[in-house]
Amino acid sequence: MTDPYAAAGVDISQGAQAKKKIAELARSASRPEVLSGIGFFGGLFEFKGYNNPVLVSSVDGVGTKIRIAIALDKHDTVGIDIVNHCVNDIFAGGAEPLFFLDYIGLGEMNQGRVERIVSGLAKACREAGCALIGGETAEMPGVYGKNDYDLVGTIIGVVEKDKIIMGKNIVAGDIAIGLPSSGLHTNGYSLARKVFGETREKLNIKSAELGRTIGDALLEPHVSYYRTLKAQLPDIKGLAHITGGGMVGNIPRVLPQGLAVQLNSKSWDALPIFTMLEKQGNIDHGEMFHVFNMGIGMVVFCSPVKADALAKSIPRSKIIGEVVKQQGEARVIIDGIGYRRDKV
């Protein structure tokens, strides 16, 4: 007898096999505080070891970078992307990541694909010391196309209340230190796909400028800055994770009112992928700073007396600018040009 649910497009047996493998991968990314494994109705995490804890949360998705992964049938990095993105978001407040939950919505269950996605989630969680405590894999034909899926993640972290970092102590004269990105990270892919295309043929074009295929460059995983910066937190006044909206949209989120930042784009190395995007897409140079991270994935703010030592202690970091008193409406000034979130 034909299974009516399978005939409707939902394969329960393959879903069960995928969830069994997911549970194995999740066990590889755990912490002692986890009291329930994958499979129970809710993830249990024993909270202890803090005096005045503040929970910090974030939720985000990989966005249309998934279209590149689907076109190339390469799914082991998008899980890394979403974990590291979320880790960076809560770390901008000084938080330690505790546990992560994911949502994978797909048009048709593909066990091998799901396992590759979750392998990336587990790998990034292990590297961050974060437990992959639960999630949801939803097969929804009619909502997603047969070959489509979406990936969303939620992270919970913790910070002692007296160690929260929100940039409130930043003052004029403080220094901006930039940490390099690995590429687009998880933002700007709608524009990148328009410029480069999203077919396997176009993405597999080898670029001499990139030293690899365009597709490989676009799938380069999002960098996590948690391990790199954790020990330096006592000397840091503020952290800006450069995600959607680029430098123009994200740096003002950590600056107190009345302050702006002056940046010198020649102080860091522009990644070839951004040069190619700007040239091939005929994109205005100012617009690039509104959309992409432009080679800087995290900006650290500190006092000038700490700047040189801090920059030397952070691998590959560079001093890229200075906090100044705001004049006019621009909060971010790059190479002498003032930018607002809504326009140049």
User: What Å distances lie between residue 241 and 279, 313, 328, CA to CA?
Assistant: 26, 19, 24
Model pLDDT, residue 16: 62
Sole residue written with tokens 């929100």: 166
Model pLDDT, residue 245: 94
CA–CA separation, 268 vs 299, rounded Å?
12
Q: What is the pLDDT along the chain (344 residues), one digit of tens a residue?
A: 456 555 555 665 555 666 666 777 777 778 888 888 777 788 889 988 899 999 999 999 999 999 999 999 999 999 999 999 999 999 999 999 999 999 999 999 999 999 999 999 999 999 999 999 999 999 999 999 999 999 999 999 999 999 999 999 999 999 999 999 999 999 999 999 999 999 999 999 999 999 999 999 999 999 999 999 999 999 999 999 999 999 999 999 999 999 999 999 999 988 999 999 999 999 999 999 999 999 999 999 999 999 999 999 999 999 999 999 999 999 999 999 999 876 54
**Phi/psi at 310 (5° precision):** -65, -45
Tell me which residue range forms the domain holding 148. Answer: 8-163
Residues 157, 179, single domain; the answer is no
Model pLDDT, residue 3: 61
Closest to 43 measured CA to CA, from 131, 157, 127: 131
Count of structural domains within the chain: 2
Model pLDDT, residue 319: 98
Per the domain annotation, does 135 fall within a domain? yes
Residues 153, 198, single domain; the answer is no
Residues 184, 269, single domain; the answer is yes
CA dihedral (325, 331, 336, 341) in degrees, to 10, reads -170
Residues 24, 144, single domain; the answer is yes
Residues 185, 334, single domain; the answer is yes
**pTM of the entire predicted model:** 0.92
Residues 137, 205, single domain; the answer is no
Pairing of strands 96-106, 131-139: parallel
Residues 17, 138, single domain; the answer is yes
Residue 66's contacts (CB-CB under 8 Å, 6 or more residues apart) are 78, 149, 150, 151
Q: Which of 142, 163, 184 is the last residue of a domain?
A: 163
Q: Give the domain CATH number at 226.
A: 3.90.650.10
Residues 272, 186, single domain; the answer is yes
CA–CA separation, 275 vs 221, rounded Å?
19
Q: Give the domain CATH number at 156.
A: 3.30.1330.10
Per the domain annotation, does 169 fall within a domain? no
Model pLDDT, residue 55: 97
Residues 39, 159, single domain; the answer is yes
